[in-house]
Amino acid sequence: MISDQIMKTNVLELPMAEPGLELTRSNALHIIKNRCLSIHQVKETTNLADVIDGITSGDTVLLIDGFATALINGVRGWETRKVTSPEAEVVIRGPQEAFVETLRTNTSMLRRKIKNPNLKIETLKLGEVTNTDVAIAYIKGIVHDDIVAEVRRRLDAVKVDSILESGYVEEIIGDGPLSPFPLVNHSERPDKIAAMLLEGRVAIFTDGTPEVLTVPTLFLEFIHSPDDYYEKFYHGSLIRFVRLGALVMTLALPSLYVAVITFHQEMLPTPLMLSIAGQREMVPFPAFIETLIMEISFEALREAGVRLPRQVGQAVSIVGALIIGEAAVRAGIVAAATVIIVAVTGISSFMLTTSAGITIRMLRFPMMILSATMGLFGLSVGLVTILVHLATLRSFGVPYLSPVAPTTTGDLKDVLFRAPWWAMFTRPRLLGGMKDPQRQQFRLKPTPPETRE
């Protein structure tokens, strides 16, 4: 765990080139600390616990005979993974680097994005057994102080054996512990984390994982992608509407299909009705069972594709597409319309970021049961229940549905519609408070020069 090279050059070789000093018993510690140890991080301590902590963390401790003080040399060094491109959050345009497992590397990547003394990083250790390093990052002056205090308070209360991934922290400090919705967001992209901090959020780095948590979390964050801010604002805005549509479709399309087929045949135009009725003529199951079978096999295929090595994963999707798309319809076990519905739902679910996507995909099953038993009424009941639940949630004191509900008119510039950068005048109000709401100058919109002499 200790870098050999550093030990050798700094602790042993360099001091030998320092002549003219007399080493006595009384000034030994002083001379060794100031003159001999050319190491960037030397800490003096009289506490045994700190000594143990230093050793277990990979530092070397220098104990000098006759002194009740130990010198902890920060010479940690170990094999790390290189910074690579993001795996889960891919963008077309934008930086192609992702966080790694090492905390210090991650915080330095963030520092490279925000070169400002107001970017504060506080470290602490969590996990009684694992002693995992955890860092809180925020930008002083932008963040709401109460939120930082609340994050600190909640982290201090974490008394567990181990923190092996940021998910451990997320579940312990997050609001709505029983809610299926993610109340803490996470990302592996330094640019996204930097943007989050600049909006007044707090980031929580956990050593050993590239996923960095951000709080407070708003529901509509999950239909945002870094791309939206890098591409033209028309593109960014339109694609957010498409993602919102995908969110609704993932949640409600299969249940709408089941409800209409089972109870509300009058809602389809006659030619479509005849076509679907014709397809379903041979199907031996009720629409609900049929859709359920298809949705579950879709989830199975998806899970298989994720777990298997990449090459085999492709084979799984080919088999799935062939068997489910083709043979099941030919055999008359499912209707072609059902396959289309399940496929569209599947594609829609891929458009959502993973954590929100899992929730929505999960919720579509109870929704299907509701609409199979009570039709569109059940579907509406389900949707209203979900909406009411969302409205009750708060993440670190900020309403989950804000800035839509409660409405903060000024913040709607960056919810579905993404305002061009020359019009992003203010910071989000509910996140950062009203301390320093002005983000940038007015009248940034580019105009042509006035004269053409």
Partner 1 sequence: MNELALALGAAVDRTPDGKFLLTLQFAKPGEFAAGAPEGGKGKVSAPVWVVSATGKTIFEAERNLAMQVSRHIYWGHLIVLIIGEKAARHGVREVVSLFLRSPQPRETMWVMVTEGEAKNLLMSQPGLEKSSAQAIGFLARSKAGYSVELKDFAAMLASKGGEPIASRLGSLKMVTTPSLGQKTPVEEVRITGVAAFKDDKLTGWLDPSETRGLLWLKGEVGKGVVTVPCPGKPEKQLSLEIIRATTKVIPEYRNNKVSFTVRLMLEGDLEEEQCDENLTKPETIKAIEKELRKDVKQKAELALSKAQGEFKADIFGFGEAFHRAHKREWRMLRDNWNEEFARAEVRISVKAYLRRTGLLTKPATLRE
Binding segment for partner 1 (CB under 8 A), chosen from 37-45, 113-121, 223-231, 268-276, is 268-276
- Least CB distance to partner 1 at residue 320 (A): 23
- Interface with partner 1 includes 275 (CB under 8 A)? yes
Q: Are 213 and 166 in contact (CB under 8 A)?
A: yes
- Interface with partner 1 includes 380 (CB under 8 A)? no
Alpha carbons within 13 angstroms on the beta-carbon side of residue 291 total: 30
Residue 263 has what DSSP assignment? Answer: T
* Residues 6+ positions from 297 with CB-CB distance below 8 Å: 320, 324
- Interface with partner 1 includes 266 (CB under 8 A)? yes
Exactly one of 283, 339, 351, 360 binds partner 1 (CB under 8 A); that residue is 283
Exactly one of 17, 159, 177, 270 binds partner 1 (CB under 8 A); that residue is 270
Binding segment for partner 1 (CB under 8 A), chosen from 189-197, 281-289, 348-356, 360-368, is 281-289
Give the x/- contact pattern for partner 1 in 388-427, rule: CB under 8 A.
Answer: ----------------------------------------
Provide DSSP, 157-224. T---S---SHHHHHHHH-S-TT-SS-SSEEES-HHHHHHHHHTT-EEEEETT-S-EEEES--GGGGG-
Q: Which is nearer to partner 1, 282 or 405 (CB)?
A: 282
- Least CB distance to partner 1 at residue 262 (A): 7
- Using CB under 8 A as the binding rule, the residues of this chain from 318 to 357 that contact partner 1 are 336
CA distance 315 to 303: 13
Positive or negative: CA dihedral 265, 267, 270, 272: negative
CA distance 164 to 177: 19
CA distance 16 to 293: 76
- Interface with partner 1 includes 281 (CB under 8 A)? yes
The Cα angle at residue 108 between residues 105 and 112, in degrees rounded to 5: 135
- Least CB distance to partner 1 at residue 287 (A): 7
- Least CB distance to partner 1 at residue 279 (A): 5
- Interface with partner 1 includes 277 (CB under 8 A)? yes
Backbone angles phi and psi of 340, in degrees to 5 = -60, -45
What are the angstrom distances between the C-alpha of 407 and each of 326, 361, 399, 424, 430? Answer: 48, 27, 10, 17, 10
- Using CB under 8 A as the binding rule, the residues of this chain from 285 to 314 that contact partner 1 are 287
- Using CB under 8 A as the binding rule, the residues of this chain from 176 to 215 that contact partner 1 are none
Exactly one of 276, 339, 360, 379 binds partner 1 (CB under 8 A); that residue is 276
Exactly one of 131, 279, 297, 373 binds partner 1 (CB under 8 A); that residue is 279
Backbone angles phi and psi of 321, in degrees to 5 = -60, -45
Q: Are 132 and 116 in contact (CB under 8 A)?
A: no
CA distance 451 to 214: 48
How far is C-alpha 396 from the geometric centre of its chain's CA atoms? Answer: 16
- Least CB distance to partner 1 at residue 270 (A): 5
- Interface with partner 1 includes 373 (CB under 8 A)? no
Q: Are 102 and 80 in contact (CB under 8 A)?
A: yes
- Least CB distance to partner 1 at residue 289 (A): 12
- Interface with partner 1 includes 363 (CB under 8 A)? no
Q: Which is nearer to partner 1, 308 or 340 (CB)?
A: 340
CA distance 319 to 327: 11
- Least CB distance to partner 1 at residue 331 (A): 14
- Interface with partner 1 includes 273 (CB under 8 A)? yes
Q: What number of chain residues touch partner 1 (CB under 8 A)?
A: 18
- Interface with partner 1 includes 172 (CB under 8 A)? no
CA distance 362 to 357: 8
Binding segment for partner 1 (CB under 8 A), chosen from 68-76, 81-89, 144-152, 279-287, is 279-287
Residue 352: its H or E element: none
Exactly one of 33, 243, 280, 364 binds partner 1 (CB under 8 A); that residue is 280
Does 406 sit behind a cis peptide bond, omega within 30 degrees of 0 on the bond before it? yes
Q: Which is nearer to partner 1, 218 or 258 (CB)?
A: 258
Q: Which is nearer to partner 1, 248 or 374 (CB)?
A: 374
- Least CB distance to partner 1 at residue 277 (A): 4
Q: Which is nearer to partner 1, 327 or 444 (CB)?
A: 327
Binding segment for partner 1 (CB under 8 A), chosen from 232-240, 277-285, 291-299, 440-448, is 277-285
Residues written for the chain: 453
Residue keyed to tokens 């777990």: 307
Exactly one of 9, 34, 265, 392 binds partner 1 (CB under 8 A); that residue is 265
Exactly one of 237, 262, 297, 426 binds partner 1 (CB under 8 A); that residue is 262
Q: Are 123 and 201 in contact (CB under 8 A)?
A: no
The residues that touch partner 1, with contacts defined as CB under 8 A, are 261-262, 265-266, 270, 273-283, 287, 336
